[in-house]
Structure formats: structure tokens, C-alpha cells
Structure 1
Amino acid sequence: MNSNLKQLFIYCKPYKRLYSLILCLNICIGILELTVPYILIKLIHTVSGDAAAGDKGSTFSRILFYSIFYLLISCMGFISRYKNQQCKNKFGLKICQTMRSDVYETVLGKGLDKAKDKRAGDVVTTLTQNIHTVERFLQTDFHEFTYQGFRFLGAVIFIGIMNWKLLLVSLTILPLSVWLTRITMRSISEISQSLADKNAVLTSSLIESYNGIKTIKSYLLNPLLVRSFAEETRCVKVEELKLEKRLSLLIPVNIFLNAFPYAACVLYGGYLTLQHQLDIGELLAMVSLMNLIVRPISTMPDIVAHLKKCEGILARVFELIPPAGQQFIAVTDETAQQDSLISMEIKGLSFNLEGQTILKDVSLSIDRPQLIALTGKSGSGKTTLVKLICGFYQFPEGTIEIFGQDNRSIPQNMLMQNISYVSQESFIFTTSLYENIRYGQLDASREEVLHAAKIAQVDQFAVKLPNQYETMVSNQTLSGGQRQRVAIARAFLKKAKILILDEPTSALDTVTEQKIIEALESLKREKIIILISHQVSTLLAADMILYLEHGNLHPLESYKELQQKDLHSLTHEKKEEVKRNATFI
């Protein structure tokens, strides 16, 4: 069995009771359908027998009985089908809801090196189109195997009891059906997966164009991107036509598989009737039963086609979900929050990204709360280093120990409970200003949220908003400096013992920056604070300065020592400020 189908069955396992109910309803519907030919035989025998005997009263009462029995069977069939479809819809929805949650959780939990292997369009397409296709398969064709199989088996037994020769004639189409199915189903899975890939590329282009609309307009890239989008659309169309061409072959195949068995059985059944080996009631019942044989045979290509299509889709879905049973190594954090254990140690850390050496044999030991400034040229690897500490990237050489434990052995969600991280790109969620700050610690009280906002200087602009902290905000409605202050407030609110800030004051004015530095100085007695910065005021406030150069980390004793390093990454104005401040140190 295909590995992707095995993975799908693992998702079905928690809902085996619901599947068992669907299976029982399918069997019930099959039995009810097999009852109709039986009623037909009895009805014809009754009419012909009683007519010959001349007993009209008895004939009418029996016809009435069989008619009521038929109506009762039909009502039971309607109810069973209604309940069956309800259960199938519920089955597909529940499984795909779990699948979507797993994809989303896995994407958020992956290291950045793995998450960025997938463009945004891959994730969006998987969460929407791809899983929806799987959902439709689970609600329909997934159950057709058992339903049509039971109908087929019941009809074979029924016709076999009536006349075994007629059964052999009706089954002559089966080998031909299998052969036609194999011919028409070639490469459907590959084409389906390729189409999903092309759709993902198309979706990614739309997302990237929307996010980069200002750059596109600034550099007059509209014609180039329109041509690129048209080419991607053409690729999608080509794959869609390939798939439709394959699926279109099913139409003549289905027509042939429906017509041939009927023609053969009616011809042979008529011959047996003329030879008095089959009565008229059995002939009509046989024609009715042929539907139960022909339907499974003729739908076989459709079911297999949808299965192959689903296989291709599942291959994309399970690229984003780890194999079942894969688990992280759990650690306990009962004592990790104790101040006496606040520590971080980096040993022999080396890291390459896309063939380029970023860090070489970096080592660092921090055994107490303090404020550490990390500086160096642009592109020297400062941001990469802090992302490694946060567990966003996997590294092959060296170790990073947080509270005495290797951060690679700590689940991402547990690791980040102890780390607050403010990135260079201050992201704002489309919700209220208050909620944006509260996301730092969801169980925080309103007083704690407002206190964090105050020390991060958010209140300076919050009071000017229409609804103050309840105002809806987004990346587009706040300035760069305002976004930075919200991100800092979010980090201050989080009850983490390690605080990492990546150039958090680059868009702030001097007064606000100084107040943020003062707040950090008050926090350094209880947290390890790592601050990436080129700002002189920040470097002066640090207990330790780390200079990153050519992948090597150099701990510096003072700001004077930093002056001896190559500071070409600073602007001319900041160089002059360094020289002026040097005279006072």
C-alpha cells in the first residue's frame, strides 16, 4: 500500500467507530437494494399464478402486501442513505480538520531553515485546496470500495442462485474493466501532484505580489510580474488539461462498461427464457440485479482515478506533516525558572547557510542575569546567532545549553516559554493594540499589560488613538517606531528569563530610546538580556560587549576595546559619536 495512504489510515483510526457505523449503513442499504428484485420476482409469480387459478381477490391482496412492503423498504432506504451521507460528511470533516491543524502546527513549530523550504503558497494551497480535495474523497469515494463491493457480492450470489450460466455471462466484463482501468489511470497521481505544485507557485506569486506592492510600484515591475504570472497561469492550465484529458477517457469507458453487460445478459437471458430455463419474473429480476453488478464495475475507473488523484494530493500534504509517531525529546522545566539556574552556554558552535560559513567555533558562557550587547558589521551573523539560540535553525556542530540543557532536545514551545525574542521586523497582528501586547503573555492581567506598555513607551501614542488601547491596528496603520514599541512591550510582558532584542530601537527617537535602555537596565538584574545594536548608548549600558567578526565571537572588556575594532558597519555620524564619547571613558 502507498505510504501516503497508510498515513491517511492513521488519521482515520481515531474515528473507527464512525467508520463502522458508515460500514453498517452501507451494508443495510445494500441489503435493501437486493430486496427489490426479490419483491419483483414474488410479485410476478403471484400475478401469473393467481391469474391462472382465477383467484382475483387473493391476487389483489398479495399485490397490496408487496406494494406496501416495497414502500416500507424504500422509506428505510431513504432514511439509511440520509444518515449514511451525514456520517460520511462528518467523517471527512473531522479527519481534515485534524489534518489542517497538524499542518498549521507543524509549520509554526518547524525551524526557520525547514519552514522556509516551503513558499507561502505551498502552505496556503495545502490548507485550502489540497485538504479540501482529500475531504471530498473521504466523504465519497473512500466508502465506495466497501459499498459497491457489498452490492456486487450480493448481486453475484443472487444471480448465481437463479442461474450460474447467466452469472458467468454477466462477469465477462470484469477482466475488461480491470484492463481499461489500468490503461486510463496511468500517471494520474503524478499529474495531480504536479498540478498542486503549479497551483502552489501561483498562490505564492499572488501573496508575494501583495506583500511587495510598494516595491513593485517603486521599480515599475508591473509588466515583468504580469508576464511571469501569465506564464505560471499557463503552466497551471497545461497541467489541468493533462488531468482532464485523462479523466475524459472515463466517459466512453463508463458508457461501454454500462451497456455491454446489459446487452449480453438480456440477449442470453431472453434465450434462456425461450428455452424455459428462466421464467419472466427471474428475467426481470436479473435485469434489475444487473445494475448492482454493472454499477461497481463501471464506477471502478472513476474510483481508482479519484484514488490516484488523492494519492498525489496526499504526497504534498504529508510533506508538511511529520510521520506518525515522530516525537521530540521531552524535558522538564520545574526548576528552569529559578534565578540561581539562569544560565546560557555556547560551546564550539559552527553554522553554514547555503554553503556560506556564518559562525565558526563560537563559545560563550553566561552564568548570571546581565545585559549583553552584541555588535559587529552588517551581515556578520548576529541575527543568525540569536535565532540559533531560539532554536529556529538546526546546527550540526557545537551545543547551545539553556539552563543546562541542550536547546535541540527541548521542544520549541517549551524553549520559547523561557525566551522573549524581538526580531528586526516588528510584526503587528490585525487586532486591537491591547491584544497585540497581550499576545506576549496570554494569562497576563490588564494591569500587567498596561504596565508593559508604559515602560515600552507605547502609552505615548496609544492615548492619541481613537479608542486608545482598544483601537484596531495592523502593520499598515502603525509607523516603524510604533511597531517596535509594541514588540518591545510584548517581550517585556512575557515572563521569560532570557530576553533577546534584535536592533529594537533602530526606528526610535533619542528620548524614547533612552527610556527603553533605562527599562532594560532595571530588568537586567533578573534576566539575561542579549541586545543586538550599533547604538552607542546601548553599548555603554551593557555589562558585556560581544563583537562578531568573520564568524568569530570576541568578548570585549569595555567600550574602549570596541573602538579598536573595524566599525565600518556604522554610519559616519555614529563613528563621530564614538570618537566624542571615547574621551569620557
Structure 2
Amino acid sequence: MASSVGAPLETYFYGKIFDDLGKFLTGGYDDAQQFMNHISLLCVKLVIVALARMVLTWLGIIGWLMTGERAQVRGRTNVFKHLLSKDLESIESQKNLIGSLTQLHRCIEEIRVGVAESLGLLVQACSSIVFLFITSMISLWSLTLVVVASSPLMAASTYVLGKLSIKYSVRENHASAAASKVLNWCFNSGVVARVLNGKYYDLARFSRNVDSSAKAFTLFSVAIGANSSILRMLSGFIFVQGLLFAKYLVSNSKANAGQVFTSFSACLLLGALMASLADLIAMINKAQASSLSIELLGFAGLNSDEFVAGEDSDSIVSIPLCSSLDLRNIRFRYQMLDTYILKDVSARFDSSRLNFVVGLSGSGKSTLASIISGLYQQFSGDVLIDGFDSFMFATIDKVSVVTLIDLSPAMFLCLMKENITLGCEPSAVSLYQQALRFAELENFERMLPDRSDTIIEGKRLSGGETQKFGLARAFLMDPHILILDEAMSAIDVQSRKSIMARLRANRRGKLTIIITHDGQDIFDEDLVLLLKSGKVEAFGKASDLRDQIPTKKSHQPTGSESPASTLVVNDFFGKTDLSPFESNATSDLEKQSVEYSAEFKVVPLSIPAVIGFCTRTSKKKYLIFIGAVASVATGLTPPVLSF
């Protein structure tokens, strides 16, 4: 706001200079030297004001930029904490989580721009308008009122078209999120899309969402452009009506040249600032639309307190020995289902032996593992660790207490060593080679060109290799409670037996729960929980339940199929109906994508390059010509008016 005072001060000095010029022409000074001394002093003051205004503007913009950066960092951090604070069921209930997250970060960036330089410049412009209006009113109030007569029209245009711009911006964000979801699916599950002949369907869905986003953005741009045009037109009227009325005042000796120039120059600056408000308000409206989109995406009310709720509570206990884990009357159902997946499941696991959970598919084994690990929190019953409720542990402590390794561990695009040691304590990293030996990854490491410093791409690994990475992580984590949910289902029989032998030796005296379909790895002294349709069918020593434990006659790695089954799958999905998308529409989409891929070239990001790309890819090239002509005409307007 301090920098805004510079504009009215400059107009004040301009008026003084014109007063002195008029006085000099009428012989008001004794000699030319006296006139030059007075003018020089005014010019020095004008330069000082300009320098001060420049410094203050720079400091103000820097401050607003820092505010915007802090806002976006805080927003992204709170999103991360918000997701970590939710249980797995809440995350799974999100229909478009990946697309929403992609759009969310774009919205945060738009909010950063809105609360940074745009908001800073808006505050500066509004302050300057107020100060210029006061200066103009003091100098010549009648001319000021004539000039600002069109201000209500400017305000009405900004309000109505601003509302429309927010509406279309929210619609664009929603369509972009839907398109991001389709794109993410194609990237992560490209093989599935091709096997099921779904590429045309996904391409049509993506094109439809992109078209909706483009249409909404076009309407948003039309609203912003219309508002900007109206404000510029009314600003031009300010110049005309002000000039005519100023001529009338001077010709009728109702104001001197200094008063007219001070008031008129202040009004001209005021009009220019009001015209510039259109672009600033557009950015702020987009930020406001982004905040609404964040609420629609399900991330409303983000705050930094929900991540570790109760962290300072007296009920938090320290990490126990974890010698026993009790399940008492566990009942659970998913929000989208009416039936319970787990029905009064009770059992007691201990660290003196390995604990197995077996049962047919759909019996609730993996759901029970997610409840024990804390991924699902909305359930009835109790999970007790050494007699303490698992909810009494702080979030950070609970992560180190329970580790869940499922059948498809996450793989990151980084070095092999980083993939295994990620999240481990520094002291555990020294056991890296032992972890490779434990999970039988030594031969795999030797085949890599740079050994452990080779970048690993998860999609190129087999199911068994991926599971071995998960087991190596479990070895380094060495948690109090380890849960293996089908974590060795894709590993060959010989390697599986060797790893199980090492697992028994390494986890001796530590609570370990293994979920499996195959009972061949279970020893007689192991503890077995047999689930059937979400209920406890049997629980006790394996030697007492040997007849009830399911076994596989031949262990075959996941993913192998007979030629006959492959023929059936291909024959079935080869007849996939692309309805409601017409065949000619999908062929046009494929042809269009091929044409675009053939034309696409990496070019420097410059205005001629952008225009050239638009010319090559746009079907309506006349729109580019109209836009170029309109831009040139807009640029010629200021010098014409000045002339």
C-alpha cells in the first residue's frame, strides 16, 4: 500500500510542473534561472518518488511471492498428512483418487498464483485507485465525477462475468481430473487395456473428457476476454469524456492548467489501473475456483492437526514387546456393501511360533491383515497388542510396530538399493547384503550392469522378483509384528522353501503372521487360524487341524496359463462391443493420434514455435489469423489515443 502513494504524488508534481510552465509563459518569474531552479527541484522530487515507489513495489511483490510459496507448501504438506491420516477404506472409497490428486496439485498451483503476485498487484492497484481518486477530487472534483461516471458499469461487468469465469473454471477442473484418471489407468495398466481390447474405449473416454475440459476453458476464456474488453472500452470512454469536459473547464476559465492536468492525469492512471484489474481478477477468480474444486474433490478442511490426532494425549503408550496379539470379536464391512466381511473373528497369536491365516479366496484373510496393520480403522471389536489397544499407539510408533507385505509390493523408479532400503533406519542399511541373501536376490543383483546402483523399473520385474524385494524390505525393517499377505505366492517352490527356512530362523521370538492359500509351508507346531466366509472355522495347532488346512498339489507361479485358456480369453474379448462408441469414431481417433504423433517434434518454446505448432495441428486456422489481427489492433490503440 505504501508504494500506491507514489502514483498520486507523481500526478501532484506533474500538476505543479504545468503550473510553473504556465506561470513562466505569463511572466510570473523574474528570470529564466529562477524558473529552472524551481522546475529542477520538482523533477528531483519526482525522481525520488519514482525510486521509492520502485523499491517498495519490489519489496511488496517479494513478500507476496513468499506468502504464495508458503501457502502452496503448506497445502501440499497438508494433503500428504490428510491422506496418511485416513484408513485404507476411506482411500479406496475415492472413485477418482489419482485423477483428483493430479488435479489437486494443479489447483494448489493456481491458488499459489492467486494469493501471490496477483493478489499483491490487486492490493496495490486498488490502493492506487483510492489514492488517485482522493487526489483527483481534491484537485478538481467536477472533472473527477465526470470521469468515474462509468465505474458502476465496470463493477457490474466484473461481478457478472467473474461469476461465470468461476463456474467454467470449476467445470474445467472437474473434466481435467476425469481425463487424468483415464490417462493414469492407461499408463499403469496398459497391458490390461490392450489384452481386453479397451484402447479404443479408453481413447474415446479420454477424448470426451478432454473435449469437455477444452469447452469449459473456452467459455472461461470468453468470460475473461469479455470482461477485459468491456473494462478497456469503458477506460477509453474515460479518456474521451474527461478530455471534453476538461476543455470546457479551461475555455470557460473555471479551472487552471495545473488543476486540470493533475486531475486528468490522476483519472487517466485510475482508468488504466481499472482496466488492468480484469486480468488480476481473472487469476484470483481462477484461484477461487480451484479452492472450490478442492472441496469438490473431497479435500476440504485440510489442516495439520488431523495427521497425528491425539499425539499429545496421555493415553499414548510406548512400543511394547509385542509377544502377543489378541483379536476380539472383530466385525467389519465395506461401506459399499451391506454384508459383513468379518463376523466375530477372535484369535490369539504369539511370538513363540509362526502364525498362519488360511482359507479360501474371499474368506476375509487380507481384510483381517489390513485391520491388524491399522489400514482399516472403522471396525467393531478390539485389536490388543500385549493387552493394549492398538489405537493407543502413536502413528509414528505404530508404523514401526506392524509391517504388512502384500503380494504386490510397490516398486519405485530408483536404484535397486534405494528400492530395498527406502524407509529403513540408517543402522539397518548396513545389513543390505544380508537382506539380498535372505530374499535370494544375490543372483539378480549380479546380472544387473551396475549391480545395486542400477535403476529398477517395477513393470519389467516378474511377480516372484517383485515379491523378493518386499521380503528384503521386511528383513531390513525387522518389525515387532510382521504380516505376510500372500507375499511368496509367485516365488518358485525351491526358493520359497529356502526363504521360509530363513524366515523361521530370523523371526524366532518375534510375532509373525503369514496369510496363505497353501498349507505346505505350515509345520505341526505352528498356530493356524482357518477362516470360512468371514467366520472362524477352526483355530489351534496345525497338528490338530491338518485335515482342514488347504494345500496345493502343485505350486505353480502366478501368471502361467495354458494355451487353451489363453485362446478362450482372446476369443471372448476379441468380440468386445465398443458401444456406445461407433467404429468409425474410434478409427478416426486412432488416425488422429497417429497424425499427431507423426507431426509432433520437440521445438524451442518461443512465440513463433507455438504459432507454428498451432498452425500445423489446428483445423480452424482462420481463428489464429483473427486472433493475431485482433492482438495487433489492440496494441495499436494506445499510440492512436496518445496521438
Q: TM range, normalised to the smaller chain?
A: 0.7 to 0.9
Structure 2 partner of 1:381 = 364
The question of whether the paired residues in 2 share the 8 Å contact of 1:92 and 1:135 is answered with: yes
Distance 1:263 1:409 in 2: 74
Helix, strand or coil for the counterpart of 1:540?
A: coil
Structure 1 partner of 2:160 = 183
* Mapped pair 1:102 → 2:78: yes
Deviation at 1:359, TM superposition (A): 0.9
Q: 1:142 aligns with which of 96, 101, 119?
A: 119
Distance 1:336 1:108 in 2: 21
Structure 2 partner of 1:120 = 98
Deviation at 1:552, TM superposition (A): 0.8
The question of whether the paired residues in 1 share the 8 Å contact of 2:169 and 2:286 is answered with: yes
Structure 1 partner of 2:510 = 527
Q: Which amino acid aligns with 1:320?
A: F
Distance 2:21 2:414 in 1: 75
Distance 2:200 2:79 in 1: 35
Q: 1:46 aligns with which of 11, 14, 20?
A: 20
Structure 1 partner of 2:11 = 37
The question of whether the paired residues in 1 share the 8 Å contact of 2:406 and 2:487 is answered with: yes
Helix, strand or coil for the counterpart of 1:417?
A: helix
Note the 1:234-245 alignment, pairs <5 A: 234-245=211-222
Deviation at 1:260, TM superposition (A): 2.9
Distance 1:108 1:541 in 2: 39
Deviation at 1:362, TM superposition (A): 1.6
Structure 2 partner of 1:349 = 330
Helix, strand or coil for the counterpart of 1:95?
A: helix
Note the 1:515-554 alignment, pairs <5 A: 515-540=498-523, 543-554=526-537
Distance 1:114 1:257 in 2: 52
Distance 1:186 1:488 in 2: 55
* Mapped pair 1:74 → 2:50: yes
The question of whether the paired residues in 2 share the 8 Å contact of 1:336 and 1:403 is answered with: no
Distance 2:239 2:91 in 1: 56
Helix, strand or coil for the counterpart of 2:490?
A: coil
Q: 2:495 aligns with which of 512, 520, 523?
A: 512
Note the 1:136-215 alignment, pairs <5 A: 136-215=113-192
* Per-residue deviation, residues 87-129 of structure 1 (Å, max 9, x unmatched): 33333223212222322343344322222314212112222x2
Distance 2:272 2:378 in 1: 57
Structure 2 partner of 1:7 = none
The question of whether the paired residues in 2 share the 8 Å contact of 1:185 and 1:301 is answered with: no
Identify if the C-alpha distance between structure 1 residues 401 and 265 changes in structure 2 by more than 3 Å, giving closer, same or farther. farther
Distance 1:380 1:195 in 2: 43
Gaps of 5+ in 1: 1-26, 576-585
Identify if the C-alpha distance between structure 1 residues 413 and 274 changes in structure 2 by more than 3 Å, giving closer, same or farther. same
Distance 1:259 1:343 in 2: 81
Distance 1:158 1:214 in 2: 70
Helix, strand or coil for the counterpart of 1:365?
A: strand
Distance 2:47 2:134 in 1: 25
Distance 1:179 1:409 in 2: 57
The question of whether the paired residues in 2 share the 8 Å contact of 1:102 and 1:321 is answered with: no
Deviation at 1:445, TM superposition (A): 4.4
Helix, strand or coil for the counterpart of 1:72?
A: helix
Q: How many residues in Structure 1 have an aligned counterpart in Structure 2?
A: 545
Q: Identical aligned pairs, as a percentage?
A: 19
RMSD: 2.7
Q: 1:448 aligns with which of 402, 427, 431?
A: 431
* Mapped pair 1:415 → 2:398: yes
* Per-residue deviation, residues 373-410 of structure 1 (Å, max 9, x unmatched): 01111122111111111221232422323344433454
* Mapped pair 1:87 → 2:80: no
Distance 2:283 2:196 in 1: 45
Distance 2:198 2:517 in 1: 34
Deviation at 1:550, TM superposition (A): 1.0
Identify if the C-alpha distance between structure 1 residues 445 and 378 changes in structure 2 by more than 3 Å, giving closer, same or farther. closer
Structure 2 partner of 1:3 = none
Identify if the C-alpha distance between structure 1 residues 123 and 542 changes in structure 2 by more than 3 Å, giving closer, same or farther. farther
Distance 1:384 1:322 in 2: 29
Deviation at 1:473, TM superposition (A): 1.6
The question of whether the paired residues in 2 share the 8 Å contact of 1:329 and 1:410 is answered with: no
The question of whether the paired residues in 2 share the 8 Å contact of 1:111 and 1:394 is answered with: yes
The question of whether the paired residues in 2 share the 8 Å contact of 1:107 and 1:115 is answered with: yes
Identify if the C-alpha distance between structure 1 residues 55 and 482 changes in structure 2 by more than 3 Å, giving closer, same or farther. same
* Per-residue deviation, residues 37-93 of structure 1 (Å, max 9, x unmatched): 111111112222233135212112222333333333333333333343333333322
Helix, strand or coil for the counterpart of 2:531?
A: strand
Distance 1:294 1:371 in 2: 80
Distance 2:232 2:378 in 1: 59
Deviation at 1:326, TM superposition (A): 4.0
Distance 1:134 1:324 in 2: 16
Structure 2 partner of 1:310 = 287
Structure 1 partner of 2:410 = 427
* Mapped pair 1:271 → 2:245: no
Q: 2:229 aligns with which of 243, 252, 258?
A: 252
Helix, strand or coil for the counterpart of 1:476?
A: helix
Gaps of 5+ in 2: 557-643
Structure 1 partner of 2:578 = none
Deviation at 1:566, TM superposition (A): 8.5
* Per-residue deviation, residues 352-377 of structure 1 (Å, max 9, x unmatched): 12214211122223354531101111
Identify if the C-alpha distance between structure 1 residues 447 and 140 changes in structure 2 by more than 3 Å, giving closer, same or farther. closer
Helix, strand or coil for the counterpart of 2:382?
A: strand
TM-score (norm 2): 0.78
The question of whether the paired residues in 1 share the 8 Å contact of 2:4 and 2:53 is answered with: no
Q: 2:471 aligns with which of 467, 478, 488?
A: 488
Q: Which amino acid aligns with 1:122?
A: S
Structure 1 partner of 2:631 = none
Distance 1:387 1:238 in 2: 43
Structure 2 partner of 1:5 = none
* Per-residue deviation, residues 268-303 of structure 1 (Å, max 9, x unmatched): 333222332311121111121013432454445544
TM-score (norm 1): 0.85
* Per-residue deviation, residues 236-257 of structure 1 (Å, max 9, x unmatched): 1222222223222213321233
Structure 2 partner of 1:24 = none
Deviation at 1:525, TM superposition (A): 3.2
Deviation at 1:317, TM superposition (A): 3.3
The question of whether the paired residues in 1 share the 8 Å contact of 2:362 and 2:533 is answered with: no
Distance 1:325 1:226 in 2: 39
Q: Which amino acid aligns with 1:394?
A: Q
312-321 or 481-490, which deviates more = 312-321
Deviation at 1:304, TM superposition (A): 4.1
The question of whether the paired residues in 2 share the 8 Å contact of 1:484 and 1:504 is answered with: yes
Deviation at 1:574, TM superposition (A): 6.7
Distance 1:313 1:334 in 2: 38
Deviation at 1:504, TM superposition (A): 1.6
Distance 2:495 2:424 in 1: 24
The question of whether the paired residues in 1 share the 8 Å contact of 2:524 and 2:541 is answered with: no
* Mapped pair 1:28 → 2:2: yes
Helix, strand or coil for the counterpart of 2:125?
A: helix
Helix, strand or coil for the counterpart of 1:347?
A: strand
Note the 1:54-65 alignment, pairs <5 A: 55-65=31-41
Distance 1:334 1:526 in 2: 25
Q: Which amino acid aligns with 1:434?
A: K
* Mapped pair 1:466 → 2:449: yes
Distance 1:440 1:72 in 2: 57
